[in-house]
Amino acid sequence: MPNWYPSWTKCSQPSDFRGAPWGGVAAIAILGALMGGGWILLTAGASIAPGVALFLATLCISGINFCNWWLNVRLICLGGDRSAIGAIYHLEPPEPTDNPYTAFANVSDLDTDYSFNLLLYQFVPKNQLPASFVNNQWSASAFAQLGADWPTLPPLVPGVPFAEVSDQVNQILPQQSMASLGLGFGGQGAESPDNAVLPGGSNQHFLMHCEIEGPGMHDLLVLLAVLLGVFIAAVFVWAIPVVGPILSAILIILALLALLIGAPAITHDVASPPNDGFGGTFNSYDPTKNPKDPVDLAYVFGRWVYDSLHTNEESNELHPVHYMIKIGQTTQGDLGAGNWPPGFGVIQLKYDAQFGVINSPTTIEIQAQPQNRWTLHPLLDGCISETPYPDPPPPGTVLV
């Protein structure tokens, strides 16, 4: 079975969601500037170091506030973990900035997640949701109306019964649980040459956005917490007679050096495709141009959320991806023509059943029992439970 990939985020319930704290971030920074500058003015410039340290400490608090929002509030829970099956369509790898010291002015440079779009099974790149649905997609009756209209919509949609794909389609559509929040929903658009809007269609295609999490923003949170402690210490040690001002200045310098070293490390601590099955790289449909080029097919399992920070492409996601499995390859030509491998849809049901057993409370409870928490096999380390184990075979016995 695949590894469980690391995650540093949580998602918030729709009722607990709040927008990006830009106002609070700015207010804390301005307050810090006033406090630090006031300290320096009140002491007629005799205590510059603690004034600077106080200002820098408030900047750290401001950054920590934003990091906590990014990691714990930005993603909106839609209903637990979900799976999706399809073809790796488009890649959005993290790109380390050439100048990491300007990354703090551009949040995207600190986002080290590896993103990709998965073209859902039975769809082709040119398929797209009808404009009539998109214009009314937050309505409580929109999904039912889409199902009713489905038989009349080809070539916007594949010529398969709506019941066969309704669960997949629902995962990429706006959810009524967050309809009252007033957020946008641009959906995932296909890349050229498949982004031409068909008559009656839209630029929302049948793509599930997936993100393998990188630790960039978590790394920043840890760095800011350390720097905050150092800057606060610099404020207090200044009061030590004789050596205090020197120690305060040294602490500020050391903290700034840590920032200079830490910023490049953060922007280069990036996620990547899994090694097991994929070898650390994806073969995607876009931007390949040769009909014979390979395209990876995958089963993906992750937390089903809405990402509130995307602009113009607000959408549902599997974020983070908990694990994914390569289940074969096709070609760009076959995928564009809708020639999916036979029996492909059964694979999702198979893996869903297996992972359901693995993640069930009963399995977790059994795994936590002392007799099952061994490093070596119980026959070797002697951790024997009430369940009898057979004696090991005599040396030299060949087991068949």
| Among 247, 268, 289, residue at a domain's last position | 268
Q: Does residue 363 share a domain with residue 290? A: no
- Final residue belonging to a domain, choices 341, 367, 394: 341
Question: Which residues have a Cβ under 8 Å from the Cβ of 20 and sit 6 or more positions away?
Answer: 66, 69, 74, 308, 309
Q: Which domain holds residue 362?
A: 345-384
Q: Is residue 8 part of a domain?
A: no
Please indicate, yes or no, if residue 13 is contained in any of the structural domains. no
CA dihedral sign, ordered 333, 337, 343, 344? positive
In-domain check, residue 389: no
Asked whether residue 391 is assigned to any structural domain, the reply reads: no
Q: Tell me: do 356 and 314 sit in the same domain.
A: no
Do 52 and 119 reside in the same domain of the chain? no
| Inside any domain, residue 91 | yes
User: Are residues 220 and 115 both part of a single domain?
Assistant: no
Residues 172 and 122 occupy one common structural domain: yes
What letter would DSSP give residue 323? E
Residue 14 lies in a domain: no
Summarize the chain as % helix, strand, coil (round to 5). 45, 20, 40
For residue 287, being part of any structural domain is answered with: yes
pLDDT in tens, 209-247: 999 999 999 999 999 999 999 999 998 998 888 888 899
**Consecutive 10-residue runs of the chain (400 residues): their mean pLDDT?**
80 93 86 77 70 89 93 95 94 76 64 94 94 94 96 94 95 94 88 76 93 93 94 90 89 91 84 91 87 94 92 88 93 92 84 76 69 60 55 60
Q: Are residues 116 and 253 in the same domain?
A: no
Q: Are residues 227 and 275 in the same domain?
A: no
Q: Are 261 and 103 in contact (CB under 8 A)?
A: no
What confidence score (pLDDT) does residue 349 get? 85
Scanning the structure block, which residue is given the tokens 């658009």? 189
Same domain? 26 vs 144 = no
Residue 303 maps to a domain: yes
| Whether residue 111 is found in the same domain as residue 165 | yes
The residues with which 211 forms a beta bridge, in sequence order, are 115
**122 and 190 co-located in one domain:** yes
Number of folded domains that form the chain: 3
- For residues 199 and 295, state if they share a domain: yes
| 361-374 residues labelled b (16+ CB within 10 A) or e (exposed) | eeeeeeeeeeeeee
- pLDDT value of residue 48: 82
In a shared domain, residues 60 and 80: no
Determine the pLDDT at residue 355: 74
